Amino acid sequence: MKKLSLILVPLTLLFAILLYNGTTYYTDQQYHPTEYFTPVTLDEVAVINRLAKAIKIPTISYDDTARFTPAPFTDFANLLISEYPHIAAVADKQIINGYSLIYKFSGSDNNLKPILFMGHMDVVSVDEITLDKWTHPPFSGVVENDIIYGRGAIDDKSTVMALMEAMELHLSSGQSLKRSIYFAFGHDEEIGGSSGAQVIAKHFEDTDVEFEFVLDEGGVILKPGMMPNITDEVAIIGIAEKGFMNIRMVVDHSGGHSSTPPEHTAAGIIAQAIVKLENAPFPADMSFTNLTFDKIGSYADFAARTVMANQWLTAPIIEHVLLANAKTAASIRTTTAVTMLSGSSKSNVLPTQATAVVNFRTMPNHTIEQVRSYVAEVIADPRVKLEVFMASNASPVSTTDGFGYKLLEHTIREFDKEVLVAPYMVQGGTDSKYFYGVSNAIYRFMRVKVDNDLLAGMHGIDERIPVQDYLKGVQLFHELINKAAISVQ
């Protein structure tokens, strides 16, 4: 009996601790408005038609920059002039590096730091072999069953056009601005933004413009079920984004005829290096997952709260579950993706050179040099040369306590009290990564509700946006502009 007590007492104590933490650790951190704003009235048909017109213009960014076609970008800029006359009459407009655009809407109080809203005009290309799989042609802008179809419907012409719609409404109402507002629309975000957003950011730095906060694309509203163990819709606001880098692994060899191969060909050595890398993933980092869950944990089911609140015991289990799914795994570690391979050009010729390209999306605690060193250590083969290219460190992390985040959080909740709000880390890259020289408060969000099917269309087949989501996006931007233009911290 005594031995049984020695077992039962610690187990009972452990169980009590787990239950206590699961019950008390997470408190309601959501903003609860005392009143809700009335969304601005829209001419819905006209608003939808203008987005459809924008989608019809094929502002495509190609990886091969020699394929760049200027005319669509000029046409898009002209569309903005013709469709938004109040903006054309009032804004101080600049064309940056030929095609990117800056709009300045001057406020009356120069003591208030301006705010920057961003978007990008370019879209990814469409694979020819997928054209017959689209419900409607990718640049048709067809509206059917309350859905707007076409490349850029979400990524990211909906942001550009919604901002223009919102500001046009604000100006047409005769309201003045107390705080200056800027728009910046890049033309090459889909290929890194080096000719667009990066040049815009440098322009702001050179002219000593600093922003109270910057808002770009990147966050969305996740439909129920998209956030594990949360049955509510969740608006995720990007407060940081992963870095990215490519490493080209190169092995040179003497080559020769395949009838007399060496023990390991150049391709074989590359293959071994790849296997080593894929078998040695970067360690997990739960910091951003915890940051997100802290904000919404009180709305999770009891089992999830109990597990997350007791990570001193459950961390290995949580990591195992998250790492078992590619999407959640990418949220907690630097990812390793082998994307390109090359060897001999003929089946019976030994390769004189074999290469592989590995793409990494890096967590904030991993620098470019740290990743390169890690790769070299894992491969541990001097025959494999490493060449880093197209590299950018992860962004700094913006505060959730500042004016910009609070303004966005409060406005989202005032628009729809059923939507929870939480910060997160953007796994892809945005143009906003270039703007930390002009603001330390950079956020990423667009008001569109997504599930896995809608997300798949963003760079894939049938990119589209529900009409109501787009209209509500315009209304949210309108309210943000109204508040930002008159708010004083």
Distances 399 to 250, 311, 407, 424 between C-alpha atoms, Å: 41, 24, 13, 11
Phi, psi of 469 (to 5 degrees): -65, -40
CB 186 within 8 A of CB 108: no
Q: Per this entry, what is the length of the chain?
A: 489
Q: What 8-state DSSP symbol labels residue 353? A: E
Determine how many CB atoms are found less than 10 A away from the CB of residue 348. Answer: 8
Question: At which residue do the structure tokens 């109040």 appear?
Answer: 86
Query: Which helix (H) or strand (E) is 159 found in, with range?
Result: helix 157-172
Angle, helices 403-415 vs 467-486, to 10°: value is 130
**CA quadruple 267, 360, 323, 233: dihedral sign:** negative
CB 424 within 8 A of CB 236: yes
Question: At which residue do the structure tokens 């060496």 appear?
Answer: 262
The b-or-e profile of 111-138 (16+ CB within 10 A means b, else e) is: ebbbbbbbbbbbbbebeeeeeeebebeb
Residue 360's DSSP bridge partners are 245, 336
Between CA 181 and CA 425 the distance in angstroms is: 26
Which residue of the set 189, 241, 462, 479 is catalytic? 189
The Cα angle at residue 338 between residues 332 and 342, in degrees rounded to 5: 170
Catalytic residue status for 189: yes
Between CA 405 and CA 237 the distance in angstroms is: 8
Between CA 190 and CA 207 the distance in angstroms is: 26
**Token pair listed for 475:** 């209304």
**Beta strand 449-450 with 221-222: parallel, antiparallel or unpaired?**
parallel
**CA quadruple 216, 217, 218, 222: dihedral sign:** positive
Which residue of the set 122, 319, 409, 469 is catalytic? 122
Question: At which residue do the structure tokens 């040369």 appear?
Answer: 385
The b-or-e profile of 272-286 (16+ CB within 10 A means b, else e) is: bbbeebeeeebebbb
Active site residues: 122, 189
